[in-house]
A = this chain, B = another copy of it.
Amino acid sequence: MSRRPLITALETHDIRFPTSRELDGSDAMNPDPDYSAAYVILRTDAAIEGHGFAFTIGRGNDVQTAAIKALAPFVVGRRLDDLGALYKEMVHDSQLRWLGPEKGVMHMAISAVVNALWDLKAKIEGKPLWLLLGEMAPEEIVSLVDFRYLSDAITQREALDILRRAEPGRAERIARLRSGGYAAYTTSPGWLGYDDDKLRRLCKEAMDLGFTQIKLKVGADLRDDRRRMRIAREVCGPGFRIAIDANQRWDVGSAIEWVNELKEFEPYWVEEPTSPDDVLGHAVIARALAPIKVATGEHVQNRVVFKQMLQAGSLSILQIDSARVGGVNENIAILLLAAKFGVPVCPHAGGVGLCELVQHLAMFDYVAVSGSAQDRVIEYVDHLHEHFVDPVVIENGRYQAPEAPGFSAAMRPESIAEYAYPGGPVWLGAGSEALESL
């Protein structure tokens, strides 16, 4: 097969799951999400496709889909080539960058297309993405990164040094991933919409399944949070890692006060205590709450904000997201930054297909960047995996290394059809009215 197939079409789908009907995924800021994907398929002249998507939680998924469609001229009619150059071409487009730059809808659209290109490339190479990246030469990896705005924190030379230092152990770490997988933690017990019995049962289940960490959503009501944390601590016992997640609910002062009220239950980290844009605010919170760790990243818009968070000590757990920043390429930059600053990366996942994607990035980090699995866990949420062609496999609380070629991004055709919005069978009827009402 040619390694440079011609991309013949960029096809988009607005796919929405009516998750608000069950309150799966409910938290202090997102009471009724309908987990959605602005989905893209790159068709080629070979018998192979690249799939990617941006994750949203309902309204606006049409806008996100339109933004992906606007990127068609960058890829359609072109041969799959240097993905460093193509990524930079999209990010640096002088007219499109006005819509960001490098943030929000347009940047997430770039993410979806870049990830679809990587899915395509990994399929062509016949490898799962984590392995494709994990076997690349340091020089090639560095060429994928846009160092603009980063040079005061990490230079190309420093990045190369980090990658070269990790080279000797690569083969051993690849083998370890293939035999034992990568540690996961689960958020499934912790949604705000669940009652105490369900919380208790799911905490117990999480431990039985081999997870060594869970996470609870907090921030809506302090008394509820104290009761739920007490239950979780009782079930899980002392020392078991229980993270809490406020989903940006607080101002700086209230974050500190609120978490102090939960201190006796020993939260391991507090996630998204305030605005994801507030580098300085996170730094104040981190200093005030130590030794409780501050974790953030799922809504951090790009590498420039991550850079500052590392410079300012705003976080001690860095949570990459596979589909918010500019896709694989920008996530490599962020992994390099984290390695430079010695901060462990614990990816955000859940949503639609985020587990499927981000496992590849965490495993690549372990193989070729940080070279470490210490204090690193990938989030796991057991929602919606049945819609994917190569769903994640969790055993003994660990992500098993994917072996299928690609980025595990492809959704099953039946799911794409069934959950199409607003015309799919799931949305014809009462559901669509509920979604459209404000």
Contact = CB atoms under 8 A, between A and B. Distances in A.
A415 to B, nearest CB: 21
A1 interface: no
Interface stretch (A25-33, A190-198, A219-227, A356-364): A25-33
B251 A57 contact: no
For the complex of A and B, the 9 pairs showing the least CB-CB separation, nearest first, are A104-B104, A105-B105, A58-B95, A59-B95, A152-B252, A277-B304, A149-B275, A66-B66, A151-B251
Interface in A93-143: 93-109
A48 B36 CA distance: 38
Given A62-B70, A278-B308, 8 more contacts: A33-B98, A64-B99, A67-B105, A73-B438, A103-B103, A105-B106, A149-B277, A152-B284
Interface of A: 29-34, 56-60, 62-64, 66-67, 70, 73-74, 89, 93-109, 148-152, 248, 251-254, 274-281, 284, 299, 301-302, 304-305, 307-308, 311-312, 436, 438
Contacts of A280: 279, 308, 311-312
Given A67-B105, A101-B276, A105-B99, A59 B149 contact: no
Given A74-B438, A107-B104, A301-B277, A60 B99 contact: yes
A280, A284, A304, A438 pick with most chain B CB within 10 angstroms: A280
A100 to B, nearest CB: 5
A418 B278 CA distance: 43
A276 B56 CA distance: 25
Contacts of A30: 94-95, 98
A254 B280 CA distance: 24
Contacts of A29: 94, 97
Contacts of A299: 101
Contact of A33 (B31, B34, B94, B284): B94
A94 B149 contact: no
- Give the residue among A104, A253, A278, A308 with the most B Cβ atoms within 10 A: A104
Given A104-B99, A105-B104, A108-B99, A148 B305 contact: no
A63 to B, nearest CB: 5
Given A100-B104, A277-B305, A94 B57 contact: yes
A30 B31 CA distance: 41
Given A251-B148, A277-B103, A95 B63 contact: no
Contacts of A33: 94-95, 98
A89 B64 CA distance: 20
B56 A63 contact: no
B248 A101 contact: yes
Nearest to A109: B63
A63 B70 contact: yes
Nearest to A58: B95
Contacts of A151: 251-254
A434 to B, nearest CB: 12
Contacts of A150: 251
